[in-house]
Structure 1
Amino acid sequence: MTAAIRTEGLSLSLGGRAIVRNVDMTVPDSGVYGFLGPNGAGKSTIMRLIVGLLRPAAGTVSLFGENLAQRPRALLGQVGILIESHGLYEHLTGRENLLLACRLRGIDRRDIGRVLDAVAMHRAADRPVKTYSLGMKQRTALARALLGQPRLVVLDEPTNGLDPEGIMAMRDLIRELPARFGATVLLSSHLLGEVQEVADHIGLLRQGELVAEGPLRALSETEPLIAISTDRQTEARAALLALGLEEDRDSGDERLVFRMGRLTAAQINRSLVESGFAVSALAQESHGLERLYRDKLGSQPSFEAHSEQENRP
């Protein structure tokens, strides 16, 4: 598999504390990779390591099949970055900010029109950035990251703090990047819903460790569950275990939850009724990625945007 990013044994400690722990990560070319984990999990730190803002204590980073440490200037010249804040000069206009970026990076200024059109900021480009909404600032920062037609775009919490309209606009832009611009996207977020909307592949990070990685669809296809309520829950639990079913962690006294295995809902219901149970409720469930998140990270995923920032080294 062609990889835009590959890390092997990536590790970093700061102040005697392990921040990144032996991360082996593969970001396939020409897609959107969603990097998920709670605030403080180390997502931003790994992104800084990938784009050369931090040096690892151990391990390697490869971009486009080449070791970053051996050719940093050439490789990072093909990467667009939006990490932490937008970093725009607020007394300058949006266009002036992009012109400054072109001069610093040796990019033809004619590319400014292309990226402004891409993020729908052409009409506001000649206004001072200080008059922009947060969503407009984020779109302008994304335009700056797209200058020079990068092969890889690294976005750290790009919807953080945006209102619902800004989140939807940013989501649409991110979703279009691979097909429209030929760029691979590495996107970090603590918001499960945002990643589900745009990502092809995901990685789950917990306390600096990558605990799961793979295609979103494959990781979301969990074994179906069945939730059951009867007139005698304790005896029903024993009967379901006797059928060879495995009880799920969400099961309780009022609502039994079991993994269905090879049985159908109809077969389970018939077995209970024939055993003399009065079944008052029976429903098949599948929580997909949400359940994987909880199982792997041990916490409830976030679905709503807020302004809390990840702890940074």
Structure 2
Amino acid sequence: MTAALRLSGVTVERGGQPVVEALDLSVPQGSWFGVIGANGSGKTSLLRALAGRLPFAGGSCRIEDQELAADRAARAARFGFAPPGDTLPDALRVRDVLECVGGTMEEVRARTGSVYAALGLGALLDCWIGDCSAGMRQRVAIAAAFAGGHRLVILDEPFNWLDPVAVFDLRRALRQQVEDGLTLITALHDLGTLAAACDTGLMLAGGKIAMTLSHDMLRAAGADPHAFEQRMIEILRS
């Protein structure tokens, strides 16, 4: 299968110290790739570097077979990326934020597809961001990642702050987007979602890969989620 993304030996630094070290990974095109790990394992730093929000301190980053390790702006242009919900500007309405990213609301609706309905965005468009709850802000941030029409999207803990119905609907919509050709990379804390939704993935610990999660491994995990959870927790504890 064609790789949408290949990393080889990449390092990410924060404050001059490595937080991701000599990491290799490959993400197949049109798949859902999950990144899991304890707090401080390097998940967010890795995703922010992929999306051009942080530099790579070393290594190779090939996106659709183009080397972009040294070009943060080009990486940012390739990925749809959800900003932290608490950074959205209070003085704008939801529709203003989405139109800044995706043009007219008709274009935004077309680009977000099934995600638009899953997030219940129609009822939020005229809300001021400053009046939005954490869950509402999370919905807007996720929608912003899709509003630009990117075929590669990065979401960092997308199910945080969402109620159970929204989690169910969003997970199903994301799966449909992947089936339609989207390449999706998500950081997750939920082992159940990792097992049930992701095609491949990895576990990070201390900025390094603790385990590569193959397609076969995750399919087996979906069949016996309790055994998978127990194994993953044992590795995370260690």
TM-score by length of 2: 0.84
Percent identity over the alignment is: 29
Deviation of 1:71 (Å): 5.6
- The residue identity in structure 2 corresponding to 1:217 is D
Asked if the contact 2:9–2:23 (Cα under 8 Å) also holds between the matched residues in 1, the reply is yes
Measured in 2, the distance between the counterparts of 1:150 and 1:109 equals 16
Structural RMSD (CA): 2.7
In structure 1, what is the equivalent of residue 44 of structure 2? Answer: 44
1:174-201 Cα shifts (integer Å, max 9, x gaps): 2222124x31110001221222232111
1:82-126 Cα shifts (integer Å, max 9, x gaps): 143353223322111112224xxxx56641232376322123312
Asked if the contact 1:91–1:130 (Cα under 8 Å) also holds between the matched residues in 2, the reply is yes
2:105 paired with 1:118: no
Asked if the contact 1:87–1:141 (Cα under 8 Å) also holds between the matched residues in 2, the reply is no
- The residue identity in structure 1 corresponding to 2:67 is N
- What does 1:231-270 correspond to in 2, within 5 Å? none
- Going from structure 1 to structure 2, the CA distance change for 1:82 and 1:46 (only over 3 Å counts) comes to same
- What does 1:280-295 correspond to in 2, within 5 Å? 287-295=226-234
Greater Rg over alpha carbons, structure: 1
Higher RCO, Cα 8 Å, sep 6+: 2
Q: Which runs of 5+ in 1 are unaligned?
A: 223-284, 300-313
- The residue identity in structure 1 corresponding to 2:31 is G
Measured in 2, the distance between the counterparts of 1:14 and 1:124 equals 36
Asked if the contact 2:95–2:105 (Cα under 8 Å) also holds between the matched residues in 1, the reply is no
- Going from structure 1 to structure 2, the CA distance change for 1:89 and 1:24 (only over 3 Å counts) comes to same
In structure 2, what is the equivalent of residue 94 of structure 1? Answer: 94
Deviation of 1:52 (Å): 1.6
3-state SS of the aligned residue for 2:8? strand
Deviation of 1:150 (Å): 0.6
In structure 2, what is the equivalent of residue 146 of structure 1? Answer: 146
1:144-195 Cα shifts (integer Å, max 9, x gaps): 1112321110000112233333332332332222124x31110001221222
Deviation of 1:15 (Å): 4.5
Deviation of 1:220 (Å): 6.1
Specify which structure has the higher proportion of helix. Answer: 2
Deviation of 1:49 (Å): 1.4
Q: Which runs of 5+ in 2 are unaligned?
A: none
- Going from structure 1 to structure 2, the CA distance change for 1:220 and 1:98 (only over 3 Å counts) comes to closer
TM-score by length of 1: 0.65
Asked if the contact 1:91–1:128 (Cα under 8 Å) also holds between the matched residues in 2, the reply is yes
